[in-house]
Amino acid sequence: MQNTLIFLVLASCISTAALAQPAAPTKSYSAAGRQVQVYTTAANTQLRMAATDKLTFQPQPQPLETQPTVFVDPTHTFQTLLGIGGAMTDAAAETFAKLPKPQQQEFLQAYYSPTGGIGYTLARTTIHSSDFSSGSYTYVANGDKSLKTFSLKHDEQYRIPFIKQAQAAAGGKLTMYVSPWSPPAWMKDNKSMLQGGKLLPEFRQTWADYYVAFIKAYEKQGIPIWGLTVQNEPMAKQKWESCIFTAEEERDFVKGYLGPTLKKNGLSDKKLIGWDHNRDLIFQRAATLFDDPEASKYYWGLGFHWYETWTGSTMQFENLRRVHETYPDKNLVFTEGCVENFKYEQVTDWRLGERYGNSMINDFNAGTVAWTDWNVLLDETGGPNHVGNFCYAPIIGDTRSGKLIYTNSYYYIGHFSKFIRPGARRIATTSSRDVLQTTAFLNTDGKVAVVVMNSTEKEQPFQLWMKGQAAQTISRPHSIMTIVVN
């Protein structure tokens, strides 16, 4: 009896010990002995993604409050990066066609080569015209409800050849998604592609069929389509191509027409992205689309822009975090951003790049999986744009001189796209000083890329601290740096 009691007590202890075992630790990481290269872009210098410093890690168990520090922990990982890139619009394609052949090749390498450029892997293009076209157009004759007249003849002149050359420069693969700005005028209640208006109920199926026709026609041209957004800026009445969809209208169009139509036509693998507008209303849109199971099943995620600043607000990154926390199974994609009100004499303005750096760091830290700039190329007017909505692009093609002008936004984007590659996992990072904004990723090859931005007039020495190892460096005033830990 005594032996039985001893056995039961021992068994109980063993069982309790087994239950109390901590979960297996995540994969360990040590920075000791690793090579570290710093790349820097800084105002009032010639530094543009320049290799500036090699750092050395030294043991440091506990930083002090007096030591400015960027903390990075590669053992805690978050979302996986899909890609970084920009939009291949009619305006970009037309500007590209006007450049001399050497500058065309320079442009393609500058964006799409992972070694000679900044390695874009993501692209967006429009379903027929947007404001960044030389005029409004569609792919069908007026009133053609059967879409028998559907033709890509317009795009075959500039846009399709442009995209194909970019694909080749990117090594044959460029993740492409597509977006409509407006249905044809005859499908809308205001009988115009401009000034908002709404899709008439009797044309919901025809419009859904139109997306399918476009995707299949582009793929027939050798341009694979990865995904699509439902409607560009669905709550904005613009003087250019635009169409209003409330959250409920988008939900019902997707679950009743677009989702089933994609599925019926063998396109259910295409990633369907909702919203495609600013961060200000994104949570309400997410709740309406994703709390309806019949609609939610068709959505891969939400797209967003950065133009909520038109209200005087700063960029509302916390709204992204609320969506990510509430709907962790859905993806966030930055689908468009540019600096508006183009002035040729301000193409060297440092604020251009810092706007990109601020958005990209905070968007990624909020859970964003992909980031898409607006026009990859515009001309010396900030166009062409058929309603005068002239904007900046990271590269300006001056069609008068045939030369390319690289704004600093090109380099700011490159500090992410060149060093953080598709498949990279975001990792934990924080800064002990608000002067230093930071995000970090672990690439599939094991390299860690840490981006640190300083948008102040102040030079800020700091240390990069990883699991008890620290490396000393300096953040220059108005600079962005990518620290690559091999």
Q: 214 and 129 in contact (C-beta within 8 Å)?
A: no
Name the catalytic one among 94, 250, 336, 354: 336
Provide the b/e sequence for 16-32 (b: ≥16 CB within 10 Å): eeeeeeeeeeeeebebe
Active-site residue 354, yes or no? no
* Cα separation, 251 vs 479, whole angstroms: 43
Active-site residue 380, yes or no? no
Q: How many of the other CB atoms lie within 10 Å of CB of 406?
A: 15
Residue in 279, 382, 286 with CA at minimum distance from that of residue 334? 279
Listed in sequence order, the DSSP H helices in 291-334 are: 293-296, 317-326
Q: 117 and 417 in contact (C-beta within 8 Å)?
A: no
Pair of tokens at residue 228: 């699509």
Phi/psi at 429 (5° precision): -150, 140
Name the catalytic one among 233, 241, 250, 308: 233
* Cα separation, 172 vs 84, whole angstroms: 16
Pair of tokens at residue 328: 């962790």
DSSP conformational letter for 359: H
Q: 472 and 461 in contact (C-beta within 8 Å)?
A: yes
Q: Which residues are catalytic?
A: 233, 336
